[in-house]
């Protein structure tokens, strides 16, 4: 397979119109192809429409309040909307931040990676957080993460300080310490611009930069967007184009400024084969795509990038004999799919790697 190329992003400025002719910052988008991916997603959307929201979750005696997640995570804590917590501070000239007038926030400004940020992390349907060392093929249970009062975990991303950002089934977004499991309310308001549930991943602003952006993918087929962490505002780029049009994905980004999507295949996901694609946020199209016709994504699926490979987590809860997640490594350099583990004993619904994770093979 061709070598994965690194590139910085060239994004559109304010006032740009999407392909439907509507401003990218419009309050609502009406996608002709909106459809729930599963009964779980449809139920969550109904809950959001009925006014369900994320309250103060609890873990080990209760969630930390305000901007303190209760753990020494080495990062500026995310606060509520408008509190300018510092995670999207303006970038200095030449540091790899966005050009003036870009729609994209500047991301975090952490200068160093903590050791824990080199690992992978997964969150389960049972609201448990694990670290995953792909070199040892070993999962380590870290904490229960019931931040949203019993709502299921939907997706997850990991920042450079090894904090987990978890989107729950009620649409809420929480910041969770991977050291203590403490939950911090971010102030994110669910259902912004019509986006209820989303896949997400952090990616560096330019190759080697320590500034990063939290990208999201609307799980109703509405395409890419991002969250400005200084205001907790969700912004859209627009729907996917080309072969990705109308599809949804989980996301994973890298420290060399690449963004990837894992697109579900049949029978329970989108029609057609599963695939992994390198995404261009400025065009909402794939710059490279690998189809995985032999991979069954099942009912619960997630993925993460590490060391030049993709780790795909898939489970079919309706398979009574094998209802739990399997781990499959996809190696784009030679096109191989290798099952690393099966029937883990839990179902993975979200996964993440930080922009500190290795981008090239470690052996």
Secondary structure (3-state) at 285: strand
Secondary structure (3-state) at 346: coil
Secondary structure (3-state) at 45: helix
Whether residue 172 lies inside any domain: the answer is yes
Q: Pick from 157, 125, 120: which is nearest to 139 by CA? A: 120
pLDDT tens by residue, 241-285:
888 888 889 999 999 999 999 998 654 444 468 999 999 999 999
Report pTM.
0.71
CB within 8 Å of 142: residues ≥ 6 apart:
129, 130, 131, 178, 181
> Hey, CA dihedral for 190, 98, 220, 293, is it positive or negative?
negative
Whether residue 16 lies inside any domain: the answer is no
Identify the domain containing residue 59 by its residue range.
Answer: 39-353
Whether residue 125 lies inside any domain: the answer is yes
CATH number at residue 347: 2.120.10
Whether residue 6 lies inside any domain: the answer is no
Whether residue 83 lies inside any domain: the answer is yes
pLDDT tens by residue, 177-202:
999 999 999 999 999 999 999 999 99
Q: Is the pLDDT of residue 169 over 50?
A: yes
Whether residue 17 lies inside any domain: the answer is no
Q: What's the confidence (pLDDT) of residue 363?
A: 64
Q: How many CB atoms lie within 10 A of CB 51?
A: 9
Q: Is the pLDDT of residue 212 over 50?
A: yes
Mean pLDDT of 299-307: 95
E strand or H helix that includes residue 44: helix 39-49
Could you give the strand order of the β-sheet that contains 153-158, starting from the edge strand earlier in sequence?
153-158, 163-168, 173-177, 183-185
Res. 111 pLDDT band, cuts 50 70 90: low
Whether residue 34 lies inside any domain: the answer is no
Number of independent structural domains in the chain: 1
pLDDT tens by residue, 150-159:
999 999 999 9
Whether residue 144 lies inside any domain: the answer is yes
């Amino acid at each position: 397979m061709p070598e994965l190329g690194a590139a910085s992003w060239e994004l559109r400025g304010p006032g740009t119109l999407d392909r439907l002719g509507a401003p990218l910052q419009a309050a609502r988008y009406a996608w002709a192809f909106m459809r729930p991916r599963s009964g779980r997603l449809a139920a969550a959307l109904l809950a959001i429409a009925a006014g369900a929201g994320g309250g103060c979750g609890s873990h080990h005696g209760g969630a930390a309040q305000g901007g303190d997640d209760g753990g020494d995570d080495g990062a500026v804590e995310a606060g509520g909307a408008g509190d300018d917590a510092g995670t999207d501070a303006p970038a200095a000239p030449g540091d790899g931040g966005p050009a003036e007038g870009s729609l994209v926030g500047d991301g975090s400004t952490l200068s160093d990676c903590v050791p824990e940020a080199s690992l992978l992390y997964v969150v389960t349907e049972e609201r448990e957080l694990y670290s995953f060392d792909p070199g040892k093929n070993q999962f380590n249970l870290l904490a229960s993460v019931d931040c949203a009062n019993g709502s299921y975990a939907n997706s997850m991303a990991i920042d450079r300080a090894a904090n987990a950002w978890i989107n729950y089934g009620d649409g809420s977004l929480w910041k969770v310490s991977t050291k203590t499991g403490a939950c911090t309310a971010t102030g994110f308001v669910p259902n912004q611009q019509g986006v209820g549930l989303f896949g997400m991943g952090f990616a560096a602003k330019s190759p080697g930069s320590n500034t990063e952006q939290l990208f999201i993918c609307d799980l109703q087929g509405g395409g890419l967007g991002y969250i400005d962490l200084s205001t907790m505002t969700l912004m859209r780029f627009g729907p996917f184009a080309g072969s990705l049009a109308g599809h949804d994905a989980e996301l994973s980004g890298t420290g060399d400024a690449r963004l990837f999507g894992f697109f579900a295949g049949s029978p329970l996901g989108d029609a057609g084969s599963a695939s992994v694609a390198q995404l261009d946020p400025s065009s909402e199209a794939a710059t490279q795509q690998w189809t995985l016709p032999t991979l069954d994504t099942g009912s619960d699926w997630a993925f993460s990038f590490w060391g030049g490979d993709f780790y795909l987590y898939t489970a079919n809860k309706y398979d009574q004999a094998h209802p739990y997640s399997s781990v499959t490594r996809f190696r784009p350099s030679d096109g191989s799919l290798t099952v690393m583990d099966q029937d883990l004993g839990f179902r993975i619904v979200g996964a993440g790697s930080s922009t500190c994770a290795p981008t090239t093979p470690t052996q």
